[in-house]
A and B are shown apart, each in its own frame.
Chain A
């Protein structure tokens, strides 16, 4: 039986790509950059992300079922858009590799100083390779299973709601923030993942109803970010939040179960699968972009090439801070791409349409 991605899969795919290890530091980012009750900034940034999603929606509607290279081919010469696609492929592949490296380094810091990150990362990359080559339909199945396996994590954090104190929220809003713009970029970067919708077009059929799934995913992510940040702001004092590297991870440390200690360690281990999804989906985008340029090549080869090259490139930053710094830069590039690419496509397609109308 022929399979295709339905709205439910798209919600899960996009939501799981959006949620990455940044979620653990989100309350700290909000507190540091936006100040007291910084969680509230998630709402307007979420709305801007919705506008970005709407831009992509406009592209999908204008494109009428055309894939990304077909749309670019309407108004750009092949060498130009080929170079553009290859550049984007490298960017997404590096982001993916850095994401998995960030997780491994965080894990090393958290509970496993004896890990040999290079070997372990190689293991993760092999797994990512297998996931990428099984194709997006099967990948969406794997992501669905991972979603159901890890759904317990946010609910565990919700159980700490009783520990929140109203007084910790303070009566002030957005005071003592350090760098508003930096905060906006970091929170926006935490939403990245919605742009994969642009690459799903060939796998969803001609109707554009599937795109509702992207809006739903974005809403779910906003709600999850908002609720967890609100709980964190009520759980820790404002001062504590600013000093903590990963406040949500610290929060899980307060969850107590009778049969197991240090639930935070276990939760973070489970979170590996979530980080894996983010990295895999970005590698999948990178492979797709590479395949657009070299369509005759079996997809296993671009996947293996990108994973191997980025493995070595991402070995350059060897500390967590450096990796986070690189990821911050990649995040800004990815945000710029997420906004500029749809604008370029809309502009290009409208001009092409106008020219054709004029010619006829």
Chain B
């Protein structure tokens, strides 16, 4: 593009989205050649983990990855029958439904990569499903714990994750569309939704975005999210993610779409809104009054974690007039020994807390505990006695940190911690007015966000009183009759399914 062209594109309105439609993320050409043994073997040159078994009396060759197949299934379905079979028996065996003819070289190669065993006979290839790749079983989620309710969490195996959902939703309307992502990783991505409840426009939009992904390796759902979200430069997470099957099922029943990425214990749900990040799994199992109380607590925690330290900085730097006289004396005494302005004092403490948190998260749990104790002493009494910080700031920073742990979503909590630093800086420069300016920027960013083109701020804006009530107050189960408006479903009322 020439200089004039660049200037034109810079100043003039952008044309509509001209992304080329791609059938599948794997857009390399298919090799239609007949999958003979030598051709397939050639594809896997230098793959020392590929197992080759030969049965000369039958003219059969077997190829498979030893660690991707189930030893028992392989032995039962292939090895033993082949060892004992004669040519007639082999012909009968190949007629069985579990032997699927591979018509192209690509199909045979992909089958082996998926963990299937490939059987070659007279220039033809058959694929046998004996795959059992290694992986973790069903365990409790460490990120999303719950006190009441189910304790099983998603694992890295997509098949297990789909099973965990299907076990809870025994309906033929639950659909699972498979898409492959990653030119090298060939990761299976499953888009699950309940037909007649989920909005087809959302499903199609999500599917087309996933199909459009062009990447080499896709290992994690949180990475996939960053390739399909509407606003990748926003600080806030836009697709709600969970490691709990019960939450995924709840979202599906609400008309949302669930995306499972093979290799990731995290599951994506869409569309989602800001308010959903303050709902926890326990809310749906506790008595409604207690659950509502906890939700309100989380909203208060949200305000505290974002603004409490910034407000301290603002007040102690510029707005002493806001402090009640009784507290003013204590605050002055506490600050008297600290040689730094409140902004530096607060930043020092916040950085220390963040470093402690990061160190604790990466270290093994036993060493992590030690870090906690050391940190507690350093940022506690020692920092005050050394004159680095004031007592009141420690209370403020600790309260902000605790409040950030109250937010159930780790992704949201991380974003809010970063927002807090921005607000502290603005409060240190312009006081309360800077704080307001910071809130203005946050509101501008949130208002601009959409998830699958639906508002992130719903039900506040666009306003929907019923939905807002439902997201703040859990409400008794008998009163929960309708799905939220963000799902844009034709089946709005629960238990009154119509086609």
Contacts and interface: CB of A to CB of B under 8 A. Distances in A.
A111 B13 contact: no
Contact of B444 (A8, A134, A260, A299): A134
Interface in B300-349: 318-319, 321-325
Given A6-B462, A115-B433, A272-B436, A262 B322 contact: yes
B426 to A, nearest CB: 8
Nearest to A271: B436
Contacts of B457: 141, 144-145
A266 B436 CA distance: 11
B455 A3 contact: yes
A9 B455 CA distance: 14
Interface stretch (A120-128, A182-190, A313-321, A345-353): A120-128
Contacts of B433: 107, 112, 115, 120, 269, 272
B265 to A, nearest CB: 30
A264 to B, nearest CB: 10
Interface in A142-168: 142, 144-146, 148-149
B123 interface: no
Contacts, number: 116
Contacts of A139: 447
- The DSSP consensus for interface residues of chain A is helix
A1 B14 contact: no
Given A272-B433, A301-B11, A145 B443 contact: yes
B431 A112 contact: yes
Given A134-B448, A145-B446, A3 B462 contact: yes
A266 B432 contact: yes
A307 B461 CA distance: 27
Task: Give the size category of B's interface with A.
Answer: 35 or more
B324 to A, nearest CB: 6
A191 to B, nearest CB: 24
A152 to B, nearest CB: 13
Contacts of A273: 436, 439-440, 443
B368 to A, nearest CB: 36
B424 to A, nearest CB: 16
Task: Give the size category of A's interface with B.
Answer: 35 or more
B13 A261 contact: no
A124 B441 CA distance: 10
Given A127-B441, A134-B447, A261-B325, A270 B318 contact: no
Contacts of B321: 111, 261-262, 265
B319 A111 contact: yes
A142 B444 contact: yes
A2 B437 CA distance: 30
A258 B325 CA distance: 11
A45 B460 CA distance: 33
A4 B433 CA distance: 32
B477 interface: no
B447 A138 contact: yes
B12 A297 contact: yes
A120 B438 CA distance: 12
A131 B441 CA distance: 8
Interface string B452-470: 1111010011110000000
Interface string B406-442: 0000000000000000000000001111111101110
Given A144-B460, A144-B461, A123 B324 contact: no
A192 B217 CA distance: 57
A1 B461 contact: no
Given A107-B433, A123-B430, A123-B437, A296 B13 contact: yes
A325 to B, nearest CB: 24
B257 to A, nearest CB: 14
Nearest to B465: A8
Contacts of A141: 446-447, 455, 457, 460-462
A297 B13 contact: yes
A259 interface: yes
A139 B348 CA distance: 36
A140 interface: yes
Nearest to B199: A1
A301 B430 CA distance: 28
A297 B441 CA distance: 25
Given A112-B433, A141-B455, 15 more contacts: A1-B452, A1-B488, A2-B453, A107-B433, A127-B440, A130-B441, A142-B444, A144-B461, A144-B462, A146-B443, A259-B324, A265-B322, A266-B432, A296-B13, A298-B10
Interface of B: 10-14, 201, 318-319, 321-325, 430-437, 439-441, 443-444, 446-448, 452-455, 457, 460-463, 488
22 contacts: A3-B462, A9-B461, A107-B433, A112-B318, A115-B433, A123-B437, A127-B437, A127-B441, A131-B444, A134-B447, A141-B460, A141-B462, A144-B463, A145-B443, A145-B460, A145-B461, A272-B437, A276-B440, A296-B13, A298-B11, A298-B14, A299-B13
